[in-house]
Each structure stands twice: as structure tokens, then as C-alpha cells.
């Protein structure tokens, strides 16, 4: 059975505000790098720049929903994307 393609993504949380209900950070994978802003009360995720955004946006949102209360500003995190970039 063939292995599924995967890419390791690295995430860094830069800012978190519970009063504004927002989490901001950077994520990189496969030679791409993006900035993100997640309004966790509305479930809205914005990822910039647009180059390669389709590769990471869904996987990033799933990861954020899974571990949101465990993330802290200044923290570095790793997750796997089931695609090869």
C-alpha cells in the first residue's frame, strides 16, 4: 500500500487576545510562508499572501479548531498536512 503524501507545517503564534477573540501568527510548509488571523468566535480564518493559500487554509483551520486552547503566544507548533507541497 502506498504512503499518503504529507508535508510538515510549522506554526508560530504571535498574538492572542481573548477580549478581541483573535489569534494571529505565521505558518510555513513546503517552502511557502503565510501570515494568518483567526477570529475564533466566528470561525473566520484569513491567510495571506494568496500564493499557495489553498494548500494550507483547510488544514490550518482543522488544526486550530483541534488545539485552540493549547496555543500560547510565542509558542512554536508542528502539524502534518496530508498533501505534498
Residue 1 has pLDDT above 70, yes or no: no
Q: What whole-number percentage of the chain has pLDDT above 70? A: 98
The SS3 call for residue 27 is strand
Count of C-beta atoms within a 10 Å radius of residue 22: 16
- Please compute, for residue 21, the number of CA atoms within 13 A of its CA located in the half-sphere on the CB side: 7
Model confidence pLDDT, tens digit, residues 15-47 = 999 999 999 999 999 999 999 999 999 989 999
pTM of the model: 0.89
Amino acid at each position: 500500500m502506498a504512503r499518503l503524501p504529507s508535508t510538515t507545517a510549522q506554526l508560530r503564534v504571535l498574538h492572542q487576545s481573548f477580549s478581541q477573540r483573535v489569534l494571529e501568527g505565521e505558518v510555513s510548509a513546503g517552502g511557502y510562508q503565510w501570515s494568518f488571523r483567526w477570529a475564533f468566535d466566528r470561525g473566520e480564518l484569513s491567510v495571506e499572501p494568496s500564493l499557495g493559500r489553498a494548500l494550507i487554509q483547510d488544514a490550518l483551520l482543522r488544526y486550530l479548531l483541534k488545539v485552540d486552547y493549547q496555543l500560547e503566544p510565542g509558542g512554536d507548533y508542528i502539524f502534518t498536512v496530508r498533501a505534498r507541497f
